[in-house]
Structure 1
């Protein structure tokens, strides 16, 4: 197979989605870099911007070589660098880290439907960039005390095997629930961490949105994130596990939007889709039935909310259509 091989429909769809996500991230990074009050954070985000900008150029060449129309994606018109700081206290890196977490999952999916050698190598390179910056963002946040580490436990001194299916029921004859295992805790911790940041993101978006329908939608998203956060904290507290509390990522009083409402809606769609995908995958590792039931109900709520956002974007004329399957 050579690079002269025609790009498949699946590869075109993957690149189309990647182009939208990458141009969105570039616009958001441009605002965060402009408002950064920490030199180390600014340098980290600037380095990521340079790497991703070059990859957007590569994608544009790929589209051009195939004779495919270049997606609009997100342009300089979608960011307002003069807008005051909307988030502070490390939110720029906290959210950039979430974006890299989303990218990790998306590249795994896109690699699995890519066969053309140059596209495979393209996603491998993007994956390497993502892994590098995800770690750098994490270490920065830990050093600045913006990101708490997961809880510690006493290390096990022996192994055991599950021989009773009551383990899945999670409740013994006296009605006492078994403690969460460390795998279940890891799944819940990730969801809790993401919803803490998601709440702040939605609060900021709702605060600066001018369109009443969009403002109402973001407010609904903020409430949903808060409810999910509260439910997960409740599960942990019942097991005498203290939930983490991030000291970073607060919203200022600004009501001037740094991004277009179209970009903010697309960003929200990505987060919802990522949350659904993550929950679907993680649910298989939740073996206590009461926890699985709650996570399943949350997934249904997130799906309904995300679909509502798609309809709203269509109503506003903000949803760019992916390439059609025209043979």
Structure 2
């Protein structure tokens, strides 16, 4: 029987594994630092679970890369983190951060499984997905136990099945706007939370970043995140739906360098990329025109912000190239 692991890697498999390697290398840096600054033993156990999962992923990926003569990415190393630096984030923020990262991990690896071909690659992403689901369960259960879990809004259960009869369902004109659907509420809630987490993370990063240009870039991101939180919260409040609350006390007053500017910028631009995907999904799931147009107007703003971050990384030789197709014009001597 043919050994299917001897078939070459597809572009989808290369990209998913390369991205997973980079993400796990940054996770190990962040989690190693968190582990040294956690007071709550239950939270520390969850951080160790996440860290061990990332370490395991790196080990498996290196094995696959070596078999394929695929150059192992540089990613992020011990040089990019000072694990002995003073505490920068609260225990509660660490839990919210881990829960958010688990959501991103579940989404990325579900897509990778759907696009995978080789059994060994699919088995790897199934393992990563299982760990991400486990992390989600652990963080949710502990946050519920500690009273820090923020639930999505409650709405009334429908008393009957209904069908849309008027174009008003799609209208965004203020005088004709209908109530929000449960799907629209869900996306607004999620995008408020992700921007709140992003803002808190940026606040901490501003305090410990070294380069002035990086600090100014982060300051701009903090303002964008707050602006988006306010816009989405206003939509919920104007429809008599409570918006999720957050606390800026998640960040301490430490200014000791924790992470390299390279790690900080990559982390923020990666979160922005995920945010663009969230906005795109929310736009597609929001039939009310005013909400869909709101998302459409915000995507170019954060895309431009991400591009500016990439330009800073390129200028400083911090941006690692992903696997790329052969440039046939260059190989033909036409470039």
- TM-score (ref. length: structure 1): 0.95
TM superposition shift of 1:247: 4.8
Determine whether 1:125 maps to 2:127.
yes
**Could you say which residue in structure 2 is the equivalent of 1:253?**
253
Q: Judging changes above 3 Å, is the alpha-carbon distance between structure 1 residues 286 and 83 closer, same or farther for their aligned structure 2 residues? A: same
**Could you say which residue in structure 2 is the equivalent of 1:108?**
110
Determine whether 1:59 maps to 2:61.
yes
Q: Is the 8 A contact 1:91 1:249 kept in 2?
A: no
- SS in structure 2 opposite 1:110? helix
Could you report, residue by residue, the CA deviation over 1:101-159 in whole angstroms, capped at 9, with x for unpaired residues? 11122112322332111001110111111011112112222222223211212222111
- Correspondent of 2:47 among 45, 48, 72: 45
Runs of 4+ in structure 1 displaced over 4 angstroms?
Answer: none
**Could you say which residue in structure 1 is the equivalent of 2:270?**
270
Give structure 2 stretches of 5+ with no counterpart: 328-335
Cα separation, 1, equivalents of 2:149 and 2:264: 24
TM superposition shift of 1:254: 0.6
**Could you say which residue in structure 2 is the equivalent of 1:220?**
220
Cα separation, 2, equivalents of 1:249 and 1:167: 40
Aligned 1:196-211 pairs, distance under 5 A: 196-211=196-211
TM superposition shift of 1:248: 7.8
Cα separation, 2, equivalents of 1:281 and 1:300: 15
Determine whether 1:300 maps to 2:300.
yes
TM superposition shift of 1:89: 4.4
Q: Judging changes above 3 Å, is the alpha-carbon distance between structure 1 residues 116 and 325 closer, same or farther for their aligned structure 2 residues? A: same
Q: Is the 8 A contact 2:109 2:125 kept in 1?
A: yes
Q: Is the 8 A contact 1:203 1:222 kept in 2?
A: yes
- Correspondent of 1:80 among 62, 79, 82: 82
Whose RCO is larger (CA < 8 A, sep 6+)?
Answer: 1
TM superposition shift of 1:2: 1.9
Q: Is the 8 A contact 2:26 2:76 kept in 1?
A: yes
Q: Judging changes above 3 Å, is the alpha-carbon distance between structure 1 residues 61 and 155 closer, same or farther for their aligned structure 2 residues? A: same
**Could you say which residue in structure 1 is the equivalent of 2:315?**
315
Q: Is the 8 A contact 1:205 1:257 kept in 2?
A: no
- SS in structure 2 opposite 1:17? helix
Q: Is the 8 A contact 1:91 1:248 kept in 2?
A: no
Give structure 1 stretches of 5+ with no counterpart: none
Q: Is the 8 A contact 1:148 1:246 kept in 2?
A: no
Cα separation, 1, equivalents of 2:153 and 2:15: 40
Cα separation, 2, equivalents of 1:233 and 1:204: 23
**Could you say which residue in structure 1 is the equivalent of 2:332?**
none
Could you report, residue by residue, the CA deviation over 1:180-218 in whole angstroms, capped at 9, with x for unpaired residues? 111110010000111111110111111211101100111
Q: Is the 8 A contact 1:10 1:114 kept in 2?
A: yes
- SS in structure 1 opposite 2:292? helix
